[in-house]
Structure 1
Amino acid sequence: NKQTLNTKSVSFGNSKGNQPGCTTTMSSTTPSLQSQDYEPTPCFSLTPLCLISNFNTCPFLDDCGWCDGGINSNEKETMKILNNRLTNYLEKVRMLERENATLECKIQEECNKELPVICPDYLSYYANIEELQQKILCTKAENSRLVSQIDNTKLTADDLRAKYEAEVSLRQLVEADANGLQQILNALTLGKADLEAQVQSLKEELLCLKNDHEQEISSLQSQLGDRLNIEVTSAPSVDLNQVLQEMRCQYESIMETNRKDVEEWFNTQMEKLNQQVVTGAQQQQCYQKEIIELRRTVNALEIELQAQHRMRDSQECALTETEARYASLLTQIQCLIDNLEAQLAEIRGSLERQNREYEILLDVKSRLECEIATYHSLLESSDGKYARTMEFTAPVHTSSLGPCGIHESRSACSILPRILVKICTITEEIKDGKVISSHEHVQPCFITRTAKA
């Protein structure tokens, strides 16, 4: 609501110009109500010129030219004029009170009126809104399903990758074992070839021994034949078959012994080699098992590490989203707090302005009451006269806030029963709490009244 301050000048004095007049200012604070049906009537009230009777003697009153007795003859006319002014003022006050009551009744009627609220028809949009909401829900469900499928596919791919890596490592181990066994087979093949060569050499040696034996037998037979011929002639005969049989048995026993020794040596070497092969194979299997277990452990740890990394990434994303969400909430709350603080500042400013206006209205009311009391005292004491004249002055300072932010202040000096009034009007223009311009206007005014002795 806008508030305007209206001022109106009223002159109290003689219409013929015989006596100097007294000028005061009527000001009022009228709230302008914004309504569609009526315009508010401006309300004028009198800003009184308060006459404060502090009975202090004015030092400059002895030299004043207004203290002559020429005004005593016009006291009744002055009182009549004042009475007429007061009557007009009271009539205006009553008229304005009636207008204010009428306006209050109109305002109350306007406030009590129940205007029909016409709401736009949004029923035609509800079907589309519900359909779109269903589509949004279906799309969200499909997105969540696809996200879950993608996550499951990623987990399956990770498991298959881990299994593939485990199988590749196992294949590498098997290939390494096959290579080791191939080397052992090659070594055994070489050993077999060496043994076969040794057997062949032993066979050749046996053949050589047999040939040598046959040659020796033949030579011995030839020698024995020669000797036999000699012995036949000179000595008894010897059974050669038996001797040959004995020699054959002797050589066969030697050959059997050599064969057995070679077989025993070959068997012992083969057993040693087989034991070495079995021990190496067992150790290799143990090592391979340990390597497989270690690789499985490494793969499991790698899978767990990847799962922990994914969990960390998901938690970081969730933390980032939470921080962003709470930051947006904090920004909204801060904006709300700023708006509330701005509204609170506006409310405080409005309250301060209303308090100032209320103080101004109270000041106006007190001045009006003081002026009415002064007029009553003037009316009561208008029939008598004082035995002696008391001359005093009382400074009065009144201030009112005019339109457009112009501050007006007035000071007055009065005497009783002869009242010398000097109206000093100071007009100050204030902008942003600073005085831009100031004008002072002094106007003397003399009022005479009689009082009972």
Structure 2
Amino acid sequence: MDHRVFSSYRKRFGTQSSPSAPLITRSLGRLSLHSTPRHTALSSPSVSRLSLGTERLDFSTDSLLKAQYRETRTNEKVEMMGLNDRFASYIEKVRFLEQQNKVLVAELNQLRGKEPSHLGDIYQEELRELRRQVDGLNNAKARLEIERDNLAADVGTLKQRLQDETTLRQDSENSLNAFRQDVDEAALNRVQLERKIEALQDEQNFPEERDAGVAGAVEAQQVHVDLDVSKPDLTAALKEIRVQYEAMATSNMQETEEWYRSKFVDLTDAAGRNAEALRQAKQEANDYRRQIQALTCDLESLRGTNDSLERQLREMEERFSTDTAAYQDTVVRLEEEIQALKEEMARHLQEYQDLLNVKLALDIEITTYRETAGGRGEQVRGRSNMLTTTQDANTDRSLMITVPVQSFSNMQFRETSIDTKTPPESLTKRSIIVRTVETRDGEIIKESTPERKELP
């Protein structure tokens, strides 16, 4: 008849093995398991450490066996307490590493999902805006260059007009100088004519004076004789000649003055027109020169702005490349840290598995020893956390052990069946059946094929 005692693992995790298989487990005492389960395999070499000897015990030395049993049990308790403490520390460390792993995974997902894409959108938007500004500046630059070329052509035309007007002015000044020479010659002719008029007047007055003197001398020397003789009228002839010369001089002077005035008026009008055209040409040239200077300043300013925007664009691209490289380095570093943490967790789990194997081997050794020393289960039934199944000496004895293991993603159980067969020659031959069952939320996800391993 089977005798079953449910352990603390059985109470905590429930039954995960086959209903027909008898269960035996070791209570873990002070251990508190709060993390998620994980699949862990039992290694058969650790079970090979079982000491299943076939020695016959001398039951007459009961007191010696009891003393040895108490000492062995005390040592086992101390060793199990130490193993439980180590197991608890490993579990706490695994939980801490799991939390760190979750934090690093969250940071990695945040860096991969949000920040790079958001920064990329921002940089792309800024790059598009800067490219639009560069295109606008290039269009404005082309338009200003066209306007500059047009203004340069207008300036060339105005320069040609200015040169033509300057030539006309020079011709007008040359004509004016020639007219001035003519006026000077006319003035000289006038002066000469005036001098001739004065000479003629002097010549006209000189005969009269001479005649008056001669007449006076004659009168002083002559004897007055009254004769009735008619005198020639010279005064009238002289007056007539004088009037003719004066009329001729006046006419010549009036004609000269009128010609001089008309020429002077014409030259003055031409000079005024040329001066006005020259002034307008100079004003237009100055206006165009100022426009060219303003457009040149605007063009230089736009070139400076364009260079600044292109430099900012290059700097932003370099900064974006640097930030991208930094984020990639961060991602690589985080992946390396995650890989290192995974390796460390795997190492701790391997150590935990080794401890479980040692614990299982100790439980089996203790159970076997008590079955052998205590008469097939009487002392074993005294322990509240062990479950054994015994049969007759000549029949097979099977032992099923279920070991729950802490993990990070799901709860997995290792079921180990220990079949103990007693041959007729009282020699004990034992084997281990290893079957792995992976469960999640109380449902069996994966179950491996049972594997039997013979024990020496």
* TM-score, with length taken from structure 2: 0.41
Which of 1 and 2 has higher RCO (CA within 8 Å, sep 6+)? 2
Relative to its length, the structure with more strand (as a share) is: 1
TM-score, normalization: structure 1? 0.41
